Chain A
Amino acid sequence: MKKDTSSKTIPYAEFKAVALLALTALLIGAFVIYVMTARGVFEETQRLVLIADNSEGVKTGMDITFSGFPIGRVRSVELAPDGSVHILVDVTKQDAHWLRTSSVFTMERSLVGDTKIRAFSSDLSDPPLPDGAERIVLRGDASEQIPQVMATMRALLENLERISAQGSPLNATLSNVQSVTNRMQGRYGAMAGILGSDENAKKLLATLDRTNTLLEKTDARIFSKGGVMDESHAAITQLHGLLRDARENLKKVDALLVDAQAIAANTRTATADLDALRSEVEASLRKTGHLIDEINRKWPFARDTEIKLP
């Protein structure tokens, strides 16, 4: 401070000092109120509890977005008694209608940047998500999958190395393919490639020619007039007549069987009458025996059959 400034009196110094203090206090107060507004202190919210298995990357104050628009903030992160993580989210009332009972929540952790919590609502006609609802958050962590991807890549590279090594099956196959394609470049094309040489292809062609000739002869033998097919047709016609005769004979046999069945029934009835006749004969014989015995007793020449003991 210079000598002249200290000696010079500023008019209305106290008023100016108070104004400066008021300006400073106003700036600080306005900033604090703005920050509180920006942090959603004055917003009406509803609570959403997201349940996760790991709270890594989740910070108080981070956004939850729907279609890229922030609709809520993480208010706190708690460890539940069952060991799961409860992420308490305050969703503003004016944006809460984007969340439905069928909404899905994901937590994605990218390699660069913060963890992101996103909400997806496939059907906006579902009932709105109630206050205090608990939902499981699906976790997708790119960095967590890096070791797995690296292991898979290593296995893949080893396989590729094994496949492309000298004397590997793939190399042998490729050399075989090359020899086959070389053979295909000859006169007989793919046929020589498949059969191994032009001679084999030539033999096959000859065989095909002979087969064609044979087929022509066979056709003439079978399908020509008076051929095998005509004779077969006549034989089938005769067989049809034989079958008709056999059917009529079978009908006659059937009638004979009916008559035999009637005879057998009559025989069974006659057998029943013989039993009654036998019983009557036995009764008559018994009566005749009694009559003879009576005559013998009354007859004078009857013998005294009684033995008198002394």
Chain B
Amino acid sequence: MDDMSLPTRLPPHAATSQGPAAWAASWWRMLHVGALLFAIALSPSTYSPLNRHAIAQQICISARQMIPWFTLLSALLSLVIVHIVVVTAQSYGLSQFALGTVIRVLVVELLPLSAALYVALRAGMGSSAEFEAMQHFSTLRARPTKDGDPLRSTVLPHVISSTIAVFTLVAISGGMALFLSYVGVYGITPWGLSNFSRVIGQVFDPVVIMSLGLKTLLYAAAVATIPATVSMEDPRDGHGASVATLQGTVRLFVVLIIIEILSLTAEFL
């Protein structure tokens, strides 16, 4: 796995760091590092007992930090949106379309994006700042360590935990949104289950399911890798660590928006 080991410090930017070439080079480095991180994550040798323990620790920490709050927030958001859509649809005499609209808006569009943004803000940027701090103290530069590549024991757990966190949050919040939609439209009764299932079947056709799955996967990949790659930009190009973090945040938002637009295009065209 030596050929796939990550550089601890990416080469400094060109002298004209503001030009389009530098911009393209930065994006290319991001893609490159993201691909390398993906390859390392899929490599069995990465999961040595020590690394595995570190990854498990990070997954648990991320879950403990994010799942309760995001579940609560997504439940509140779902309740509000379900109520607004149902009441509005009833006032226009279009209540038969309320459930499908709610499911499309919440489960397919809003909640995956919200989960990705929440993980990006809560874990991604935090880890990015942490990486930069570690760089400042030359922790990442000290290699090899006793467990090999320090990025495998430091960066990769964050990447994997962020990826899993996105999927977990999307699954939990989506299930809760479905439950709240059912209760909001039919009330606490089992008699609407047949109609509810039929609407679910109509909304989630194969294209929508594939789009949702692919979108969540791309969200997770973006949220997990972009902060890590940004943190490896060399601060000697004249920008401080906070500027790099801000750039990473902007870049992450741009990528998330592009993924969302592509997803909408695939679903509705």
**Which residues of A line the B interface, CB within 8 A?**
1, 5-6, 9-10, 13-14, 16-18, 20-21, 23-24, 27-28, 31-32, 34-35, 37-40, 60-63, 70, 73, 112-113
Contact between B60 and A17, CB atoms less than 8 A apart: yes
Q: Looking at chain A's contact residues, is the secondary structure mostly helix, strand, loop, or mixed?
A: helix
B163-183 Cβ-contact flags toward A at 8 Å (1 or 0): 010011001101100000000
Q: Which residues on the B side are within 8 Å of A16 (C-beta)?
A: 56, 59-60, 63
Smallest beta-carbon distance B233→chain A, Å = 20
Q: Is B130 an interface residue (CB 8 A)?
A: yes
> Do A5 and B61 have beta carbons less than 8 Å apart?
yes
What's the minimum C-beta distance from B199 to chain A, rounded to whole angstroms? 8
Contact B171 A31 (CB under 8 A): yes
Determine if B73 is an interface residue (Cβ-Cβ < 8 Å): no
Interface bits B202-244 vs A (CB < 8 Å: 1, else 0)? 1011000100000000000000000000000000000000000
By a beta-carbon cutoff of 8 Å, the part of chain B in contact with chain A is 52-53, 55-57, 59-61, 63, 94, 96-97, 123, 126-127, 130, 158, 164, 167-168, 171-172, 174-175, 197-198, 200-202, 204-205, 209
Give the distance to chain A from B178, nearest Cβ to Cβ, in Å: 8
- Decide: B55 and A17 in contact? CB cutoff 8 A: yes
- Count how many pairs of residues, one from A and one from B, have CB atoms less than 8 Å apart in the complex: 79
Contacts of A6 in B (CB 8 A): 61
Tell whether, in the assembled complex, residue B56 and residue A24 are in contact, meaning their CB atoms are under 8 Å apart: no
Residues of A within 8 A of B168 (CB): 20, 23-24
For the complex, give the distance between the alpha carbons of A12 and B60 in Å.
10
Most buried by B among A1, A18, A70, A112: A1
B56-A13 in contact (CB<8A): yes
B204 touches A35 (CB 8 A): yes
Instruction: Provide the bound-state CA to CA distance between A14 and B55, in Å.
Output: 8
21 A-B pairs (CB sep. < 8 Å): A1-B126, A1-B127, A1-B130, A13-B56, A17-B55, A17-B59, A20-B59, A20-B60, A21-B59, A21-B164, A27-B175, A28-B167, A32-B209, A35-B201, A39-B201, A61-B201, A61-B202, A63-B198, A63-B202, A73-B201, A113-B94
| Contacts known (A35-B200, A37-B197); A27 close to B172, Cβ less than 8 A | yes
Known contacts A24-B171, A31-B174, A38-B197; is-contact A113 B96 (Cβ 8 Å): yes
A63–B123 CA distance with the chains assembled, in angstroms: 44
Beyond known contacts A13-B60, A28-B171: 8 more, CB 8 A cutoff: A1-B127, A9-B57, A10-B61, A13-B59, A14-B56, A23-B168, A31-B171, A38-B201
- Shortest Cβ distance from B169 into A: residue: A24
Taking a contact as CB atoms under 8 Å apart, the answer to whether A14 and B94 are in contact is no
Give bound CA distance, A18 to B197, whole Å: 31
